[in-house]
Structure 1
Amino acid sequence: MSQERSYTIHPDLDALDFDPDEIEPSIPLKKVPAGDIFEASRAGDVDRLRYLIESGMNVNARDTWDSAALYYSCLAGHLEAARMLLESGAICSEHTFDGDRCHYAALNLTVRKLLKAFEARPPPLGPLQGALRDMFLRCRANQVFVEEFENPVRLMGQSLLNDGSNSNDFPPDITFFVQGRPIEAHRVILSARSSFFKRRFETKWKDRREVRFASEKLSYPALYSLIHFFYSDRLEVTVDDMEDLVEICKVCKCEGLQKVLEKEMFHQRHAEYKALRNVDNSQKRFILQGLSLPEQDRLQAALHFILQTSLANSNRQNADISDTLSGFDEIQASGSADDLADICVKVGEKSFRCHQVILASRSEYFKARLSHMTDFLERQDGLSSHSLPFLEEHDLSTEAFEKMIEYMYTDRLKDIDPDQAEEIFDAASRYLLFPLKRAVADALIPHLEMVLPAELCQWLILSDMYGVLKIREYCLDLIACNFETFADTPEFRAMLLTLPPPSGDSLLRTTHPSAPGASVNSDQGNLLDDLREKWLEAEAAELDKRDESAALFDKRLEMLVLIAERENADVHADDSLSA
C-alpha cells in the first residue's frame, strides 16, 4: 500500500489574501496562432487561417496525404473556414482532383452550395491582375474568342464585352496568328512571364508586329489560355486542352505551371470514371489561381523584375547624361532590349523608363494621356526620333513617383518614409490611383504602432482629409480605447478645435463607425461621431443606456473644447506680450 503524501501550507502564505483580479496579467495576452494550415482547417480556426493566409501561405499546398486545406474544412463542415480559403484562391472546380474531393467529402448541403457558388464565380482578381486582364480583354481579337467560347455567367461582371467599349483605347503591340486566328498582346507582359518570349522579342521578332505560326498542331485555345494567364495570374483551360497547354509550357519555359498541370492531368486520368463522359458532354474546365504557384512564378514577381531592370537602366541613363542632346538620345535608345521600355517619364531632373501598358492599365490619367497625344512627344528640345516617347510630370518628387510606379507594377509597397505619405496620398488622387492609398496605409501601420499621441492626432486628420480609411479606423480605435490618455494631451484638445462638432440629435449620429450620417452625403461620417461610437463599443455600454452614455461623452468633449479654447487664448496672449 502506497503512503498518502501529506501537504502543508506555509504559515506566511496562509495569511495572504489573494484578489482574483491580481492573478490576471496586467497586459492582455495576445493569442498567437499556432499549427499549420491543415490543422487550422480541420479545427475551423478562422483566426489562425487568416494569420497564415496573410503570411503568404499557399492555400492549395498539399500535406503528406496529398490533401489540400479546403478538403479538411469541407470534410469537417467548417463553412467560414472553407469560405476564407475559397476567397483566397483555393481550387474547387468539379472534375478536377481537388474539386472532386471537396464536393464528395462535403459534410452537408450548405458546404456543397458554397463550393458551387465559388465554382461559378471565381474569387475576384487583385487590382494589378484585374487591370491587366481588362486590358487584355479590351483587345478586339481576344473579345471574339470570349464571345464564342466563354460562358458570360462565369465572368460575373468582370467581362468588358457588354460595357459599350468595342475598341481598345490602348492597342496591343504584337499579334499572334494560330490556325488563322489572332491573339493580341503586349510584348512587356509576355517577356516578363516567359524567357522564351523575351528571347524572341530581342532577336527573331524584334521589329515584327505580327507573328504567324505555321504548325497546325499548335492549339489556339491552349495558347490563348496561357497568354490570358500571363495577364491575370488565373488559368482557365478546358480539361481537353490541358495536354496541348503542357506542350506549350515546355516551349515557353513555364516550368512551375507545367508541373502543376502535369500533376493535375495525372489525377484526371485516375478520376476519369467520375466524369461520366457518355452522360455529360459539356466541356470541363480547370481553374488555377496564381497563388498556387511559387512566388517567383507569379505576376507580381515577374513585373517586379522588369521594374528593377527599368530603374537600373534609368539610373544609368541619368548618371551618363552629357550636356549634348545627341548623347542623351544614344543613352535613351540603349537598354531597350533589357527592359522593353517604350515610354520615358521625366520627373524633376530624373527620367524613368516605363511601359505604356502598365501605366495605362493602372491609371485612367495615364491611359487618357497616352492614348490621345500625338506620338506622346511633349518636349521641344529637338531630340531625334530615335529616342523614347516622352512625358513630363510636374509638382511631384522623384521619390514619390518611384513609390507610385512600384505600386503600379507590383500592387504593394515594400516600405515607405512616413514623411512621404501626404505627397503620395495627394498623388494617388491626382493620378486616379486610389488603391495606392490602401497600400501606403498597409506599409505605415507598423510605424503608427510606435508613435506618440500627438503624432497620431496628425495622422487622424491627414487620413480623414484624404479618405484613407484604414489609417483613420486605426487612429479612432486607438483613441477610443485610450481616450483619457489622449484627453490629457494639448495636441488632442487643439485638434478638437479644428473638427466639426458631433451630432447632437441621436437621429443624425453615425450609427456605425465610418458610415455616413443621415444628412451627410459622403463615404465617411463625422470624425467625432465615429469616435463616440467606437468609445461606446470600447466601454461596452448597455443598449438601453447608449444615448445617456453618448450624452456624457459629448459633455466631456465640450469641456475639452473649453480647455482648448482657453489654452489657445493664453498662447495668443503670450505671443502679443512677447511682441
Structure 2
Amino acid sequence: MDTSDLFSSCRKGDIYRVRYLVEQRDVELNVRDKWDSTPLYYACLCGHEDLVRYLLANGARCEANTFDGERCLYGALSDPIRRLLKEYKRITAKCMQRDYYDDFLQRLLEQGSYSDTMFLVHGMSFCAHRCVLGARSPYFAEMFETKWKGKNMIALKHPLINPAAFGSILQYLYTGRLDIDVEHVEDCKRLAKQCRLQDLIEELEEKCKKVYEFVSSKPGTCVKVLTVEPSGNGRLQEDLAMLADCAVPAELRVGFGELPFDSTDNFCSYPDLCFHIQGYNFLCHKSFFCGRSDYFKALLQDHFCESQELQSQPSIPVITLHNINEETFTRVLYYIYSDDTEVITLQFQ
C-alpha cells in the first residue's frame, strides 16, 4: 500500500506525502512498478521540480548514461528539471540511503576488511571473502574445495575473463546489484553462466531488451551502463543466512533457521572467529561481526590479545562471552548475517 501511495504522490507532486513515506515509513525510493518506472521518473514526467530535487537529494538513482537516467531526462516535462538532472552530481546513488545492511555489504566489497582471498584478473586485483562467494554461488563453493583449495591468491588467466565483468559479478554476489558497461554485458553473461547464476542471466537479458526498446524508440538517447537491481534482498539474505546456519553448533540447530539444515552438511564456511557461550562454540566471521557492530568490533580488538585458540583449529581465536545465553546469541547471530531474526515477545497478564 505504501509503495503504490508513493507512486501516486509523485505523480500528483505531493511532496509532503512523499516526505512522510520516505522519512517516516521508510519506503524504498528506487522501487519499480510493473512498467519498470521509478518514483523519480513520474516526478520528472509530471513536472514537479521541487519533488525531483528532494528525491535526488535522498538517494533516487539517476546516473548519466544509464537506463533510468536517460529515461528520466527524456521524459522530463520542463527544461529546469532537465538541467537539474544533468547538473546533479553523485559519487554513489546509495550514499544517502538509510539501509545499513546494504551499506555494510557494499563496504565489505569495496574495503575488503578481513578478506581471505584475492583474485588476479589480467593485472587487476580483487579482494574477496570465501564465505560470501561460497554462500552465493555453487561454482565458487565447489572451486574453493577443489582447484582453489588452500590458495589465498587465485590468478584467472583465461583470455575471455574480462576484469570489468568479473568485478560486476562480485558486486552482484555481495550486494544483489550489478552495474556494467553495455559493451561488457556479453562478458558478464558468460561469467554468470560459469558461476551458475541463472537468475542473473535472465535479469541481464530482460534489462538488455528494455534498454534496446527504449533507445530504439527515443532518438538521441544513449545508454552506456546497464544496471540490475534486486526487487528485494530476499535471495541475498537467504544465502547469507546459511553462514549463520553453519555458525550454530550442531546440537543447537533444531529450532533455528530452516530445517533440516541439509545445506550445511557439505558446505564449508571458512570461519575465522569462535564465540564460546555457555559451553557452546559458535564458528563465525570477523568481517560480519566487526562490520555490523561497533560493540563486537571494539570487543574483538580489545580481547584478541587475551583470547584462546580453538583446539580443533588453532588458527581460530576463541572469545568467551558472559552474561548471555546461547539462545539469545543465536538470534543476534542471524541478525548479523541476514538482517533478520526471530524476536521473543513477552506477554504480561
The TM-score by the shorter chain falls in which range?
0.7 to 0.9
Q: 1:360 to 1:93 in 2, by over 3 A?
A: same
Q: Deviations over 1:284-325 (max 9, x none)?
A: 444554xx3354333x333223323433646259xxxxxxxx
State which of 257, 262, 279 in structure 2 corresponds to 1:349: 279
State which of 16, 21, 29 in structure 2 corresponds to 1:50: 21
User: What SS does the corresponding residue of 2:329 show, helix, strand or coil?
Assistant: helix
Q: Deviations over 1:16-60 (max 9, x none)?
A: xxxxxxxxxxxxxxxx86956644432345648928975779712
Q: Is the 8 A contact 2:180 2:225 kept in 1?
A: yes
Unaligned runs of 5+ in 2: 255-263
Q: Is the 8 A contact 1:103 1:112 kept in 2?
A: yes
- Report the number of matched residues: 331
Q: Aligned partners of 1:356, 1:336: CA distance in 2, in Å?
A: 22
Q: Is the 8 A contact 2:65 2:222 kept in 1?
A: no
User: What SS does the corresponding residue of 2:248 show, helix, strand or coil?
Assistant: helix
Kindly state the Cα deviation for residue 215 of structure 1 after the two structures are TM-superposed: 0.7
Alignment of 1:302-321 (within 5 A): 302-311=239-248, 313=250, 315=252
Q: Is the 8 A contact 1:313 1:335 kept in 2?
A: no
- Is 1:78 matched with 2:24? no
Alignment of 1:320-399 (within 5 A): 337-367=267-297, 370=300, 377-378=307-308, 383-385=311-313, 388-399=316-327
TM-score (norm 2): 0.75
- Is 1:242 matched with 2:185? yes
Q: 1:212 to 1:412 in 2, by over 3 A?
A: same
Q: 1:105 to 1:275 in 2, by over 3 A?
A: closer
Q: Is the 8 A contact 1:128 1:409 kept in 2?
A: no
Q: Is the 8 A contact 1:86 1:123 kept in 2?
A: no
For 2:133, the aligned partner's letter is: L
Q: Aligned partners of 2:76, 2:61: CA distance in 1, in Å?
A: 14
Q: Is the 8 A contact 1:59 1:90 kept in 2?
A: no
User: What SS does the corresponding residue of 1:208 show, helix, strand or coil?
Assistant: coil
State which of 85, 93, 105 in structure 2 corresponds to 1:122: 93
TM-score (norm 1): 0.48
- Is 1:204 matched with 2:150? no
Q: Aligned partners of 2:340, 2:54: CA distance in 1, in Å?
A: 22
Q: 1:35 to 1:68 in 2, by over 3 A?
A: closer
Q: Is the 8 A contact 2:62 2:72 kept in 1?
A: yes
Kindly state the Cα deviation for residue 345 of structure 1 after the two structures are TM-superposed: 0.6
Q: Aligned partners of 2:232, 2:181: CA distance in 1, in Å?
A: 23
347-356 vs 179-188, which moves further: 347-356
Q: Is the 8 A contact 1:91 1:288 kept in 2?
A: no
Kindly state the Cα deviation for residue 185 of structure 1 after the two structures are TM-superposed: 0.7
For 1:188, the aligned partner's letter is: C
Q: Aligned partners of 1:190, 1:34: CA distance in 2, in Å?
A: 32
Q: Deviations over 1:337-393 (max 9, x none)?
A: 3444332211223332212221122234544565687798516xx934468542211
User: What SS does the corresponding residue of 1:337 show, helix, strand or coil?
Assistant: coil
Q: Deviations over 1:425-472 (max 9, x none)?
A: xxxxxxxxxxxxxxxxxxxxxxxxxx99xxxxxxxxxxxxxxxxxxxx
Q: 1:250 to 1:398 in 2, by over 3 A?
A: same
Instruction: Specify the alignment match of 2:34 in structure 1.
Output: 62
Alignment of 1:403-418 (within 5 A): 403-417=331-345
Q: 1:264 to 1:315 in 2, by over 3 A?
A: same
Q: Deviations over 1:380-433 (max 9, x none)?
A: xx93446854221123333442333333223345534369xxxxxxxxxxxxxx
- Is 1:215 matched with 2:158? yes
- Is 1:274 matched with 2:204? no
For 2:292, the aligned partner's letter is: R
Q: Is the 8 A contact 1:191 1:197 kept in 2?
A: yes
Q: Aligned partners of 1:114, 1:405: CA distance in 2, in Å?
A: 44
Q: Is the 8 A contact 1:376 1:390 kept in 2?
A: no
Q: 1:346 to 1:103 in 2, by over 3 A?
A: same
User: What SS does the corresponding residue of 1:274 show, helix, strand or coil?
Assistant: coil
Q: 1:103 to 1:359 in 2, by over 3 A?
A: same
Kindly state the Cα deviation for residue 186 of structure 1 after the two structures are TM-superposed: 0.7
Q: Deviations over 1:152-172 (max 9, x none)?
A: xxxxxxxxxxxxxxxxxx542
Q: Is the 8 A contact 1:194 1:253 kept in 2?
A: yes
Between Structure 1 and Structure 2, which shows a larger proportion of helix residues? 1
Q: Aligned partners of 1:33, 1:173: CA distance in 2, in Å?
A: 42
Q: Aligned partners of 2:338, 2:29: CA distance in 1, in Å?
A: 18
State which of 230, 235, 260 in structure 2 corresponds to 1:297: 235
Instruction: Specify the alignment match of 1:458 in structure 2.
Output: none
Instruction: Specify the alignment match of 1:401 in structure 2.
Output: 329
Q: 1:193 to 1:388 in 2, by over 3 A?
A: same
Q: Aligned partners of 2:80, 2:271: CA distance in 1, in Å?
A: 50
Kindly state the Cα deviation for residue 110 of structure 1 after the two structures are TM-superposed: 4.8
Q: Is the 8 A contact 1:350 1:398 kept in 2?
A: yes
- Alignment RMSD: 4.0
For 1:397, the aligned partner's letter is: N
Q: 1:385 to 1:310 in 2, by over 3 A?
A: closer
Instruction: Specify the alignment match of 1:156 in structure 2.
Output: none
User: What SS does the corresponding residue of 2:170 show, helix, strand or coil?
Assistant: helix
Q: 1:313 to 1:258 in 2, by over 3 A?
A: farther
User: What SS does the corresponding residue of 1:396 show, helix, strand or coil?
Assistant: coil
Q: 1:101 to 1:251 in 2, by over 3 A?
A: same
Kindly state the Cα deviation for residue 75 of structure 1 after the two structures are TM-superposed: 0.8
For 1:361, the aligned partner's letter is: G
State the identity %.
Answer: 28
Q: Is the 8 A contact 2:29 2:39 kept in 1?
A: no
Q: Is the 8 A contact 1:129 1:233 kept in 2?
A: no
Kindly state the Cα deviation for residue 114 of structure 1 after the two structures are TM-superposed: 5.1
Instruction: Specify the alignment match of 1:428 in structure 2.
Output: none
Unaligned runs of 5+ in 1: 1-31, 140-169, 278-283, 318-333, 420-450, 453-579
Alignment of 1:226-237 (within 5 A): 226-237=169-180
